[in-house]
Chains A and B, each alone.
Chain A
């Protein structure tokens, strides 16, 4: 299979490689990614402009309007505390992005350097780190996240940090395998021969070329972070009522689902699916586009 090698040979000498340009081009090739991106943008606008779109304060109660079905005043009805579900669903987008973006950034900040280092240096350090990552795989990620958040204290910050740390091996692996392939390429070897220090080779020469694989993963990992953080909140760990977070809202509505007040849990669930689906669609397209191996099989 020569395609992979070709791709690298062509990408490596291009110092001005631009991720953004490729993403712009992507929508032409991948309608999936374009739809995903559109969904994400809509939610992004809702999150940034939530104050404009929300008819009511999302955590303010109307004590006399508890559990009203959807109506003209409350499009998505009210919850068990008399709060407006529509406003809360919109505000929930802020928690979606507010958790996913920093969590993925933390994962990148940990995973990318670890991947660079282990891939470039190899040896015993690489072996130990990789075995450790393998070991982590025996724990189902949701259970591990749940147990760690429950043990370390229930706050939003904790949820973000725990998700970020737990997901960093994904990026480390991707970067490591790219680096392994690049290590013996001409431009790296010439950089070494020119007497560049290790850090310079890692961050100046390897990083720009190895990062694309990691970037291809970001959307899918963001989807994971949104999903898992909502799951934690659904179980009552991490984020608590009456915070307008989708998972916490589904938890509140769960009790009412089998007694007929479906709107409390349905709408936040739909919003959650939409955003996660959008991120996954974008991720799917991105992976196809940026990952040479997958593109080649298409």
Chain B
């Protein structure tokens, strides 16, 4: 199968999935008992205003019509307007994407750099003491509530020791953000040569990124270990061992065979960690997409909730597609499974 055909097939499969996702997000805010009109109209609104807003939102139409209007709007890039910010939801979200992505990539990146070597080492000596300790830490990582970890770290490193800045935002409050190039304050400040700002941005990144890394490394350790163990027990490796190849060569074979499944897992993991990221943003007042989405959910900002959930789903779909393509490029026959 050529890459072109593979690409086309994958994209075609995405269309019904996207429709389903859009329908699910559409229904999400309509299954509940909260009336968006009451919230939008606010106090002292008259009955006429209620009807007016109901009409503006199209809520007087049938559910079926409403869905197609919603779909039509989405296709034109209209995600509706947030009543908390009075701005188009899409603008709100695009402003915040890079902010969140920075935290997510740093966190998962470091989590991966820690997780994979630990998982590999544990797998090469199963049931050794290193394996037991790493396994316990991985279980602990699964069990610690992210937000609590963030709070405890703030207490220790900010309140007690004074090493970390208060958990508010991405740079010192009175600092001016550097000119936007990448959207990451840290890199933008480096590009602009504003060392103080870069230092501040880095110091604000430390605690949330550590939180994120701890939580994301737990599943990576666990799965790297499991995947590697499985590879170790397959016939190629057994044969390589049996034929007396040097240890390093065997290790290389194992690594080559476990790269794809581990990468696939890390990729999938990124999408699952978006929830964790939102919680960390909430605790550290990070001001990104995650915090925006949580605020929207907690305060009943319907258009923003829809937009946020849809955005996350889109993000997952895109990540899954990228994984598929990367795996195909590394190992075209994997597609057959």
* A and B touching (Cβ–Cβ under 8 A): yes
Does B151 interact with chain A (Cβ within 8 Å)?
Answer: yes
Interface stretch, picked from B51-59, B80-88, B269-277, B327-335, is B269-277
Does B21 interact with chain A (Cβ within 8 Å)?
Answer: yes
Looking at the assembled complex, report how far the CB atom of B4 sits from the nearest CB atom of chain A, in whole angstroms: 24
Interface range on chain B: under 10, 10 to 19, 20 to 34, or 35 or more?
35 or more
Which residues of the other chain, B, contact A152 by a CB distance below 8 angstroms? 31-33
A147, B159: Cβ atoms under 8 Å? no
Contact with B along A137-158 (1 / 0, CB 8 A): 1111111101110111100000
Interface stretch, picked from B140-148, B185-193, B205-213, is B140-148
- B interface, over-half SS: helix
A137, B32: Cβ atoms under 8 Å? no
Please report the C-alpha to C-alpha distance between residue A153 and residue B140 in the assembled complex, in whole angstroms: 32
Once A223-B143, A258-B159, A297-B230 are accepted as A-B contacts, the answer to whether A135 and B20 lie under 8 Å apart by CB is yes
Of listed A131, A223, A235, A297, residue having the most chain B CB within 10 A: A297
Looking at the assembled complex, report how far the CB atom of A208 sits from the nearest CB atom of chain B, in whole angstroms: 27
Which residues of the other chain, B, contact A150 by a CB distance below 8 angstroms? 32, 297-298, 300, 305
Does B267 interact with chain A (Cβ within 8 Å)?
Answer: no
Does B233 interact with chain A (Cβ within 8 Å)?
Answer: yes
Contact with B along A192-231 (1 / 0, CB 8 A): 0000000000000000000000000000000100010011
Report B116-173 residues with CB < 8 Å from chain A CB: 126-127, 135, 139-140, 142-145, 147-148, 151-152, 154-155, 158-159, 166-167
Report A267-298 residues with CB < 8 Å from chain B CB: 269, 272-273, 276-277, 280-281, 284, 294, 296-298
Contact with B along A250-273 (1 / 0, CB 8 A): 100110011110100110010011
Does B89 interact with chain A (Cβ within 8 Å)?
Answer: no
Does B253 interact with chain A (Cβ within 8 Å)?
Answer: no
Interface range on chain A: under 10, 10 to 19, 20 to 34, or 35 or more?
35 or more
Of listed A1, A280, A298, residue having the most chain B CB within 10 A: A280
Does A237 interact with chain B (Cβ within 8 Å)?
Answer: yes
Pick from B143, B144, B147, B275: contact of A143, CB below 8 A: B275
Looking at the assembled complex, report how far the CB atom of A277 sits from the nearest CB atom of chain B, in whole angstroms: 4
- A interface, over-half SS: helix
Looking at the assembled complex, report how far the CB atom of B203 sits from the nearest CB atom of chain A, in whole angstroms: 16
A277, B316: Cβ atoms under 8 Å? no
Which residues of the other chain, A, contact B140 by a CB distance below 8 angstroms? 273, 277
B145, A297: Cβ atoms under 8 Å? no
Does A70 interact with chain B (Cβ within 8 Å)?
Answer: no
Pick from A146, A151, A260: contact of B294, CB below 8 A: A146
A257, B151: Cβ atoms under 8 Å? yes
Question: Who on chain B is nearest to A150 by CB?
Answer: B297
Pick from B21, B271, B276, B293: contact of A135, CB below 8 A: B21
Question: Who on chain B is nearest to A298 by CB?
Answer: B126
Pick from B139, B154, B275, B294: contact of A277, CB below 8 A: B139
Of listed B16, B139, B282, B298, residue having the most chain A CB within 10 A: B139
Pick from B155, B279, B309: contact of A147, CB below 8 A: B309
Report B89-113 residues with CB < 8 Å from chain A CB: none
A280, B142: Cβ atoms under 8 Å? yes
B298, A237: Cβ atoms under 8 Å? yes
A258, B167: Cβ atoms under 8 Å? yes
A250, B147: Cβ atoms under 8 Å? yes
Which residues of the other chain, B, contact A236 by a CB distance below 8 angstroms? 298
Does A234 interact with chain B (Cβ within 8 Å)?
Answer: yes
Please report the C-alpha to C-alpha distance between residue A288 and residue B135 in the assembled complex, in whole angstroms: 13
Which residues of the other chain, A, contact B273 by a CB distance below 8 angstroms? 140
Question: Who on chain A is nearest to B144 by CB?
Answer: A273
Which residues of the other chain, A, contact B21 by a CB distance below 8 angstroms? 135, 138
Which residues of the other chain, B, contact A148 by a CB distance below 8 angstroms? 28, 31
Which residues of the other chain, A, contact B16 by a CB distance below 8 angstroms? 131
Once A147-B297, A280-B139, A284-B139 are accepted as A-B contacts, the answer to whether A296 and B33 lie under 8 Å apart by CB is no
A143, B145: Cβ atoms under 8 Å? no
Once A235-B282, A284-B139 are accepted as A-B contacts, the answer to whether A269 and B298 lie under 8 Å apart by CB is no
Please report the C-alpha to C-alpha distance between residue A220 and residue B297 in the assembled complex, in whole angstroms: 27
Please report the C-alpha to C-alpha distance between residue A230 and residue B29 in the assembled complex, in whole angstroms: 22
A250, B148: Cβ atoms under 8 Å? yes
Query: Which 3 A-B residue pairings sit nearest by Cβ, starting from the closest?
Result: A151-B32, A142-B275, A140-B275
What 14 new A-B contacts, CB under 8 Å, besides A150-B297, A247-B145? A138-B17, A138-B21, A138-B312, A139-B312, A140-B273, A144-B309, A148-B28, A150-B32, A152-B31, A231-B145, A258-B155, A266-B152, A269-B152, A272-B148
Chain A residues at the B interface, C-beta cutoff of 8 Å = 1, 32, 131-132, 134-135, 137-144, 146-148, 150-153, 223, 227, 230-231, 234-237, 247, 250, 253-254, 257-260, 262, 265-266, 269, 272-273, 276-277, 280-281, 284, 294, 296-298
